[in-house]
Structure 1
Amino acid sequence: MSPPAALLERPEPVTEAAEGPLPGPGRRILIVALNYAPELVGCAKYTTELAEDLLARGHAVEVVAGPPYYPAWEVSAGHSGARWSREVVNGIPVHRTPLYVPRQPTGVRRVAHLASFGLAAAPAAVAVARRFRPDLVFAVAPTLTAAGAALAAARVSGAARWLHIQDFEVDAAFDLGLLRNRRVRGAALGLERRVLSRFDRVSSISPAMVERLAAKGVVPGRAVEFRNWVDVDAVRVLPDSHTAYRRELGLPADRVVALYSGNMAGKQGLEALAEVAARLRAADAPVSLLLCGDGPARAALETACAGMDSVRFLPLQPLARLEELLGTADIHLLPQRPEAADLVLPSKLTGMLASGRPVVAMAEPGSGLAREVEGCGLAVPATGPAMAEAVLALAADPARRAALGAAGRARAETRWKKAAVIGGFEAEMAAVVGGRQAAGAPSR
């Protein structure tokens, strides 16, 4: 699948004058990331919040990103996938690139999609870096193709280089069956290893994923944990689950609500939710499933659940209603295919824990996800029947639900608190930028 012809053109030149020194200890950070606001889910949420929080802390930030398209896999109205553009989002200049967005993201088309961003991001990132003169270039994977653009931008500006891995896309593409050729896999993993070695820092979002970085050759001292976070002040624990959502959906007060909210794609293992629904209906359990989100797997899930009165579907909800949506749940559902274990830590877990409701997660014993859920939910094998039995057990035991939910909230406040996580990033950034400057990196 060929990228759009626009990818062969050059971006419009950036003509703004270079800015003077920042007051105080502020740094200049250039972020290269496929996904950014106004996207609401997945990596975009964390990249956007990081950028805006760093700006509030006195740093200067600019972003090179694709146009918003996720999770609908369609470029949003008001944006273009065929040209470069520039806008300001909450005070941050965002340089949008052309992007190939397939309507049906099969394996090969997904590769072309990711590659199109890497091709388009490189000239944009270099142009911004020449003017902006960043201290740090921060790239987010997915997609790994952003790494090439980040390295090029760092080279022309003398900036420190940081690659942040939200999921191991090469491993996931083959382990989940999106791509199958073993020779291609070997070549892709070899390229990934060389790319990782060129960054001053490589981070990921869980201890298990940081361990995988070491297995991929990232030397000690360069591999660091930079976990996702939750704003515990924005997601409070609601005193009960009798929210406006229940009234709008006609859910009786005595029904236990099991909620899945997020992207609906292949690696989530959403087909198990249809099995959960069937098992709960067969047991005549007082449980309703609320399935909220969009993505390529939604249509199949709707078909599988057709005729089940206990299942309700909602589109992706506004961020302003996130607290209420999470608080509508009595139980949160976190399906995941076993092949994805330790390749990604689902970002939705943070909000689930902060909401003070227990989680039922598909996670094998000893996996990173199982360790994160331990004590504040139930980890079950990656099957619909196993998840259904866990839901039934929690539905019948309100006291246990309350205890697990309280433990989850406490964990969110200690391990996932936004201010502490980004503060840790800020300290590590100072170390890596200072270390590079002390080592005699080219002056800017």
Structure 2
Amino acid sequence: MLKISKKNLSFESATVSAGIDHNDQYGSHTPPIYQTSTYVFDNVEAGAKAFAHEEGGASHVYSRLGNPTVERLENAVAKLESFGMKDSDIYTGMAFGSGMAAITTGIISLARNGHVIAQDALYGCTSQFLKEEAPSMGISTSFVDTSDTFLVEMELKQHPDTTLIYLESIANPTMSISDIRAIAKLARDHNALLMVDNTFATPYHIQPLDLGADVVAHSSTKYLSGHGTLIGGALVAKKALFDEMNTWIFRKNLGGIAGPMDAWLTLNGIKTLSLRMKQHQEGAMKVARFLENNPLVEQVYYPGLESHPQHDLASSIMNRGYGGMISFELKGGYEAGVHLMNHVKLCTLAVSLGCVDSLIQHPASMTHSIVDEEIKQKAGITEGLVRLSVGIEDPEDIISDLQHALQ
């Protein structure tokens, strides 16, 4: 049999093999689900060694601390986010029961009673957490347009106590893109960390760690699982950083670890990530061009369009296309948006994204209704903005559905 080093695999092949380990004692082809809450010790001495993490002790003691199926997922996500990097072996993953569990645990452990500079356009719950809950934990936040690196630099000068910069690789829902490489350098120069939510792009399109970010977050509910069947999240960083910041202990005590069934489903989803992302982005480009040429559409926000404010930057940091997410502003504002969403047939009116079917929603009244009004206006989340997660259907069918609903 021809033996190929995993270091020489393409990213596409790596997505298939990332969660595979054929060393299972029964020779199982797919990873088994360790659906257990606790683990058995041979004797008291063995249990003591396990809890003390001593050599020769059992590797698992309780599934809130760790689980073999969950660890498979953690290894798989870490391999993909650090794919092709020379020091990929020093990165590790942490799986969570939701994207927000990953994000909040990451922020709490990394910010450490300091200041956070956050992107103004963020997922609604992330924005709400930083604005309303984080202050009670000693964490202050200023929201800026991180697509303008100069503003980030000025904010760092105004807040020398900044410990964390937080942004999304592609902003939800405005689709703005920040120069991760430049901001990572600014963070290092000011002794701060950079955390990037890579949910929209996935490592198929952007690898923030390779651009200098310290931590990557995911809502694995979305593209990583891909089928809308679970809730999950993940963090990836250098193991030494997680150890230094006690992120493992925060997850243990906050209780946010992923369950084995959700981890197993996500592992199955990752196997087809490359295939799905290729179809998502090819369809999204066609749909975006249709919308851009439609007289009822005021503005389209898609990184692959030359009209996108950061198109050149996107082209320089995005691999294999521009993703499957589109936002667009309708002429007629809120009423036009309501009319569109109430008349689509193929596209599904639902929050979330990254499913194999196309999902459409109205951020101002749905996902971002909880965001502070001042932040929302500053970020450009208007009443007439529509967010579309382009599925893997035939793009001509999606276009036909939108065309009918717009009219």
TM-score when scaled to structure 2? 0.28
Higher relative contact order (CA 8 A, sep 6+): 2
